[in-house]
């Protein structure tokens, strides 16, 4: 299934970063050529003097100010559901949109690479100096703007840029998945923000720890990842058991109610009070009027109660059980339900000879 992962780092001289080495690492060149997980690598928006990404990032190491930022690095996972061509199109469109800035003229130079060891993912390094189309020598490019250097964008400095980038990547992935015909979606929000309380977030293992795990060497990150996977598996099994119990309880409740109703023999119905008979009849009519005829046919063996007379005949309720003074109430109810003939039948002389016997109430279901 598609998973969401996006992290950002800043490479500067202060933290000992090296732009050329980072670019060589993600593109699997020079000292990293032995790695065999590279799928694709390319650079965009480079100045004319940079004949390859190596020239550009080596110049950044050489000419960028001592306290300057050499690059911004993004790492994000790709949806496994997409083909390699679809993944590449997704990465290109996403990076082009994120490297098109508005506070300065031009676009940001960047180099990206797709790796696919087990989970396809992307590494990208972005320079904050915008390429505005002007020809500059390498040493001039990295000077201050008032000295003729390429202007720096300020949009990447606030944390808001990272939040916007995370959301933008989720939107781009979901659009690509929908376009490819997949129903799965990713969410950039934390599990807590999503309202998910029955699953733990999986920790990131990292390339070094994963390589050690592949060689059979257990790592602290690997142990933590396995612990979280075990907990999430147990919680998933618990959710499934709870669902099964809820479905079983619902089924048992329905069967129990039907069984209790089926157990009412003629003798038991003879003992029902007028209020109980009235309640059963009203329940029958209400269920029928809600459009549940098919369900009632199954519960009654294909029989549907349409009038009180038919109701009494179906359940074997004798005329002697119903009091004369109560039939005015039935007449009013039947008129409401639209059965005029039955209402008129209530007025015939035979109902005046009926006697009433008080009996016990219907037991609870």
Largest CA distance in the chain: 116
25 is catalytic: yes
| 3-state class (DSSP) for residue 19 | helix
Q: E strands along 127-166, which residues?
A: none
Q: What is the enclosing helix (H) or strand (E) of 114?
A: strand 110-115
Distance CA 66, CA 316 (A): 99
Structure tokens at 119: 């989970």
Distance CA 46, CA 48 (A): 7
Distance CA 340, CA 334 (A): 7
Q: What are the φ and ψ backbone dihedral angles of 260, each rounded to 5 degrees?
A: -65, -40
Q: What is the enclosing helix (H) or strand (E) of 123?
A: strand 121-126
The active-site residue out of 4, 25, 110, 330 is 25
| 3-state class (DSSP) for residue 350 | helix
* Signed CA dihedral, 30, 31, 35, 37: sign only: negative
Structure tokens at 306: 């349409």
Cβ burial, residue 343 (10 Å; 0-12/13-18/19+): buried
| 3-state class (DSSP) for residue 326 | helix
Cα-based angle 69, 74, 79 (whole degrees, multiple of 5)? 170
**Residues with catalytic annotation?**
25
């Amino acid at each position: 299934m598609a998973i969401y992962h996006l992290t950002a780092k800043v490479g500067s001289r202060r933290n000992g970063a090296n732009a050329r080495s980072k670019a060589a690492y993600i593109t699997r060149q020079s000292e990293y050529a032995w790695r065999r997980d590279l799928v694709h690598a390319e650079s965009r928006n480079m100045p004319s003097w940079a004949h390859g990404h190596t020239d550009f990032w080596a110049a950044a190491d050489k000419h960028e100010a001592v306290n300057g930022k050499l690059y911004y690095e993004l790492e994000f996972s790709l949806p496994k559901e997409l083909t390699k061509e679809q993944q590449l199109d997704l990465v290109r469109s996403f990076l082009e949109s994120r490297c098109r800035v508005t506070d300065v003229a031009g676009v940001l130079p960047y180099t990206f690479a797709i790796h696919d060891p087990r989970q396809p993912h992307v590494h990208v390094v972005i320079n904050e100096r915008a390429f505005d189309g002007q020809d500059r020598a390498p040493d001039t490019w990295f000077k201050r703007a008032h000295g003729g250097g390429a202007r720096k964008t300020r949009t990447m400095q606030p944390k808001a840029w990272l939040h916007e980038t995370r959301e933008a990547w989720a939107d781009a992935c979901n659009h690509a998945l929908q376009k490819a015909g997949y129903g799965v979606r990713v969410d950039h929000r934390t599990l807590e923000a999503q309202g998910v309380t029955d699953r733990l977030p999986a920790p990131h293992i990292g390339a070094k720890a994963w390589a050690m795990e592949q060689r059979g060497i257990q790592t602290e990150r690997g142990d933590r990842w396995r612990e979280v996977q075990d907990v999430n598996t147990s919680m998933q099994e618990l959710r499934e058991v709870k669902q099964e119990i809820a479905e079983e309880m619902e089924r048992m409740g329905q069967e129990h109610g039907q069984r209790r109703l089926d157990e009412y023999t003629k003798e038991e119905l003879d003992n029902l009070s007028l209020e109980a008979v009235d309640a059963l009849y009203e329940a029958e009519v209400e269920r029928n009027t809600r459009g549940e005829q098919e369900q009632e046919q199954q519960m009654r063996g294909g029989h549907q109660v349409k009038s009180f007379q038919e109701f009494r005949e179906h359940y074997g309720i004798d005329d002697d059980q119903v009091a004369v003074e109560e039939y005015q109430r039935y007449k009013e109810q039947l008129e409401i339900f639209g059965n005029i003939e039955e209402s008129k039948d209530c007025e015939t002389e035979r109902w005046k000879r009926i006697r009433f016997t008080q009996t016990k109430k219907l037991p609870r279901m």
